[in-house]
Amino acid sequence: MDATGRGAPPPPPGPPAAASFAPSPVPPPPPGSAAALPGILEGDPSGLLPPEQAQRVRERVRKLCGWNRESFPGGQPVSLSKNNLAELFRNPYVACEKTDGIRFLLLAASGCIFLIGRKEEVRMLPDNYLPRRGRIHDAQQLTLLDGELVMDRHPDGGSVARYLIYDAVCIERDESIKELNLMARLAAVAERVIAPLRELEEEEKRREGKGCDRAQPAEAAGAEDDSTALQTTKKRKPPMEIYLKDFFEIFDLLHIQRMALRLPHESDGIIFTPVSLPYTTGTCRQLLKWKPPHLNTVDFSADALYDEGGVPRLFQLYVADFGVRVFKGEFLAPYGTLYKELLQMASKTRLSGTIVECFWFPSPPVYTFVPSLRSAEDLRDEKEVCKWQGWNAAKPFYDLDNGTWKEGGWVAERIRTDKNLPNSFQVMKKVQQSIDDSITFHTLLREAQRYRNHGKKTVGEACTLPPDHTQITGISCQAEGSFPIVER
C-alpha cells in the first residue's frame, strides 16, 4: 500500500498485455456520489431534448454568456500551485468546499428548467420552475445560473437530488449580472432566486395542510414573454431541490474542512473564487482549485493501441490544444481494475476518444511502459504496416513488445461519461506541478495565517454591499468568522 492508500504492484518483466493489471486502487462510488445520480448520467435519455430544441437552448446560453465557441461556456478553475498561491492573498477571495457532483448550467425559461452539461447535452425538468420575486406564481424567464447537481444522503438511507448554485450569469433577462463582482452576484441570487423559492415552499406547505393543489407552469419551451403563466394542476414532487452554496473567508479553512466532513455528499477539495472579477467563461486563471495532492486528476482522451492480431495492448492519452486532440507522449500506466475494464472494452469494440480521469503517481511502485518506434526496415514490410494501420489507422508504428519502463505514471480512476473533451495540455502540466509542489492543507493553513498576521483584511471587513443585501445573504461586514451566504 502506497502513501495514497492505492495499491500498485512492481512493474511486470515484459511489455503490458491484456492480463497485466492489479487490484483496483479506486473503490466504487458511494451511494450519494455524483456517479450514482439516477436519470442524469450520459447514456440515460431521461429528459434529453430533441437535437433541434437542444441547439436553440445551447445558442441562447452561449449568447447570455457572451461565448462565441461551440463548446461548454462555463468557467473552469486551474489547479493551485506555488506559482499562483500568493494570488490568494494579494487579492480578495472567498472559499467553498469543492463538491464532487455533476456540473450543469441551469437555464430557467418557458416555465421549465433546463440543465446544460459539460458535453452541452440539454435536459428539461418540466416539474421545476423558478418563481419570480413578488409574484411567486409566475415563472422566471431567462435566468442562467452555474452550479453542480448532487445526490444528498439522508440518515434514514434515502436520498434527494439538489442543485447547488455557486454563480450567476443572468437573472430574469438582466444580463448585467455577469458583470458584477462575485458578492453582488451571490446577493442577487439570494434575493431574486433563493428567497422566492423559499416563499413558494412555505406557501406549498400551507396549501398541503389545507389539501390544495400546486400551481404549475402551463406553457411549453420557447415562450418569450417576461414571465410564464401558471395553471393549477395536481401537486407533483419536483425532481430536485435548489440551494445556494455556502462561501467562507479564506482564513476559515479549518471550518470548511470540518463542514465538508459533515456534508451529505462527497467533497474533494476547496475552490477559491476571486471576488472582484465578473463571471468569466472558459478557463479562468484566477479561479483556483485545491485538492489533496493524491486526489489531483486530469481528464484524458484515451485511444487503445492494438497489435497486429487485434489485441489491445496500450492506451495513448490525448489532451486538448485549442479544442483539438493532441498526443504529448503520455501513456496509461497498466494498473487497476479500471485498466482491465478498458482492455475488455477495447477487445469488444474499437476504443477511441474515451474520456478517462487519471491521477498522477510520480514514483515507484507505479511504472509506465513507453513502446519503441519500429525500425525503418520494419516499415518496408508492407504486410506488417497494413496490419498495423488496419487496427490503429494513422498512428505511429510502435513496437509493442519493446520499449522502456518509466517511473511513475497516470493511473486510470474513472471513466467520465459527462465529458467529450479532455483537459488541455496546460491543465495537465499544472496538475503535475501541483502534485510535485505538494501543497498540503497544512501549507494552506500556514500561508493563510502568515498573511492574516501581516494585516490582510477579510472580505467581510472590506465589504461594501448595501445593508439590505447583507441582511438577505447573511454576510456580516463586521464578523471575522465564516459567513455562509445561505443557511440550510
Q: Divide the 488 residues of the chain into consecutive groups of 10 and give the mean pLDDT of each group.
A: 39 43 33 43 67 96 95 92 89 93 94 92 86 93 96 84 96 96 97 96 83 45 44 53 94 92 88 97 94 86 93 96 90 92 94 93 87 79 81 89 92 90 88 82 91 82 56 35 31
Q: Angle at CA 81, nearest 5°, toward 80 and 84? A: 80
User: Distances in Å between the alpha carbon of 364 and those of 27, 139, 360, 367, 397?
Assistant: 21, 57, 12, 6, 28
Residue 25 has a pLDDT of 34
φ, ψ of residue 257 to 5 degrees: the values are: -60, -45
Q: For cell 423559499, what's the residue? A: 198
Tell me the domains of the chain and their CATH numbers: 34-292+445-473 (3.30.470.30), 294-437 (2.40.50.140)
d(CA 311, CA 18): 8
Query: Residue 237 CB: number of other CB atoms within 10 A?
Result: 8
The grid coordinates of residue 340 equal 482491465
Gyration radius of the chain over CA positions: 25
d(CA 120, CA 108): 16
Residue 376 has a pLDDT of 67
d(CA 442, CA 456): 19
Q: Which residues contact 142 (CB under 8 A, 6 or more apart)?
A: 60, 64, 107, 108, 109, 170, 172, 173
d(CA 179, CA 118): 23
d(CA 70, CA 52): 15
Query: Residue 140 CB: number of other CB atoms within 10 A?
Result: 24
Q: Is the dihedral of CA 407, 412, 413, 416 positive or negative?
A: positive
The grid coordinates of residue 478 equal 463586521
Reference 332, options 379, 281, 366, 283; nearest CA is 366
Residue 188 has a pLDDT of 97
Residue 295 has a pLDDT of 79
d(CA 287, CA 87): 10
β-partners of residue 92 are none
